[in-house]
């Protein structure tokens, strides 16, 4: 599996997403993912599973220091007066003294960006986050954030074979960051696509593996598929070592890339 060095910290290119995993499903899912060989786990305050993710880490034989763990601060907690305490609460639930990556989950224009980022930096300076970054920031907003904090690690955004992120790739490559692709399987829609299925069938692998290999074949790309099924977790991990041929990649590049699935009413103007 590829690892990217981002500001001195190693990030495994394939991680395990935990949105919508709850209770034993989250705990057992994380423990199982680690037993398979995943070393990167993605959660968030709003997923309401940090305690179960922490329990999965605790139950695993894998040492905390060998796992790259991300959580995200929800919008109601980004005010400087609340951010630090909310991260302390996340750490308590996760059963750890630090996360490897701490993200602002969504842009929030009710609080000055600089104030949010200063608070985030404070958490890093206190040793409670090794890296900091953002999520759901369009390119212009990411550039604004980088003016204030030049060493952000990632922008975690929706990205899959049906939605391109070329402007963000330009920035993350220029700045030594990574682009973290969420919903990398388009929440299952990749399974239905004829082009993907043909490539998968010809290789004797699953369509999800082809969709993940398309993302992971791009420089500075990280993907965090979610799977509640053990078989899916195993199959997705194998995709980390699957390289596409040029003609396969070209066929996937040619798919229409404007299908956005995660677009709540508080989302930013994506063209900003």
Sheet containing strand 154-158, edge to edge, reads 16-17, 40-42, 68-73, 99-104, 129-135, 154-158, 178-182, 221-223
Applying CB under 6 A, does 236 fall inside the site for ligand NAP? yes
Query: Least distance in Å: CB of 47 to ligand NAP?
Result: 7
DSSP for residue 160:
B
Is 136 a binder of ligand NAP (CB under 6 A)?
yes
Interacting positions 99-118 with ligand NAP (CB under 6 A): 105
Which phi and psi angles does 29 have, rounded to 5°? -65, -45
Instruction: Select which of 4, 38, 47, 137 is catalytic.
Output: 47
Structure tokens at 17: 């997403």
* SS3 label, residue 5: strand
> Using the rule CB under 6 A, is 185 a contact of ligand NAP?
yes
Which C-beta is closer to ligand NAP: that of 12 or that of 184? Answer: 184
For 211, list phi and psi in degrees, rounded to 5.
Answer: -65, -40
- Neighbouring residues of 269: CB distance < 8 A, sequence distance ≥ 6: 138
Separation in Å, CA 30 to CA 58, 75, 193, 237, 241:
10, 25, 29, 13, 21
Report the residue number, 17 or 54, with the smaller CB distance to ligand NAP. Answer: 17
The answer to whether residue 45 forms part of the interface with ligand NAP (CB under 6 A) is no
Q: Shortest distance, CB of residue 159 to ligand NAP, whole angstroms?
A: 10
- Give the residue carrying structure tokens 């070329």: 166
Residue 77 contacts ligand NAP per CB under 6 A: no
- One residue of 3, 7, 9, 19 binding ligand NAP per CB under 6 A: 19
Task: Check residue 133 for interaction with ligand NAP (CB under 6 A).
Answer: no
Binding site for ligand NAP (CB under 6 A): 17-19, 42, 105, 135-136, 156, 182-188, 191, 206, 208, 224-229, 232, 235-236, 262
Residue numbers annotated as active site: 47
């Amino acid at each position: 599996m590829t690892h990217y060095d981002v500001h001195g910290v190693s990030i495994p290119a394939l991680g395990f997403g935990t949105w919508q995993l709850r209770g034993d499903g989250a705990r057992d899912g994380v423990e199982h993912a680690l037993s398979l060989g995943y070393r990167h786990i993605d959660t968030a305050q709003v997923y309401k599973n940090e305690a179960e993710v922490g329990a999965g880490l605790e139950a695993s034989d894998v040492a905390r220091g060998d796992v790259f763990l991300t959580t995200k601060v929800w919008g109601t907690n980004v005010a400087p007066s609340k951010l630090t305490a909310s991260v302390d609460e996340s750490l308590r639930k996760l059963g750890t003294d630090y996360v490897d990556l701490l993200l602002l989950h969504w842009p929030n224009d009710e609080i000055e960006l600089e104030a949010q980022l200063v608070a985030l930096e404070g958490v890093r300076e206190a040793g409670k986050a090794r890296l900091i970054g953002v999520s759901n920031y369009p390119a212009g907003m990411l550039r604004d954030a980088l003016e204030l904090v030049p060493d952000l690690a990632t922008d975690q955004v929706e990205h899959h074979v049906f939605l391109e992120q070329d402007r963000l790739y330009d920035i993350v490559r220029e700045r030594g960051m990574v682009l973290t692709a969420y919903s990398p399987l388009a929440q299952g829609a990749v399974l239905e696509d004829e082009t993907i299925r043909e490539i998968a069938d010809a290789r004797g692998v699953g369509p999800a593996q082809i969709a993940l290999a398309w993302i992971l074949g791009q420089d500075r790309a990280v993907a965090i598929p979610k799977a509640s099924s053990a078989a899916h977790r195993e199959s997705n991990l194998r995709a980390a070592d699957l390289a596409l041929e040029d003609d396969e990649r070209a066929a996937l590049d040619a798919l229409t890339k404007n299908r956005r699935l995660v677009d709540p009413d508080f989302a930013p103007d994506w063209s900003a």
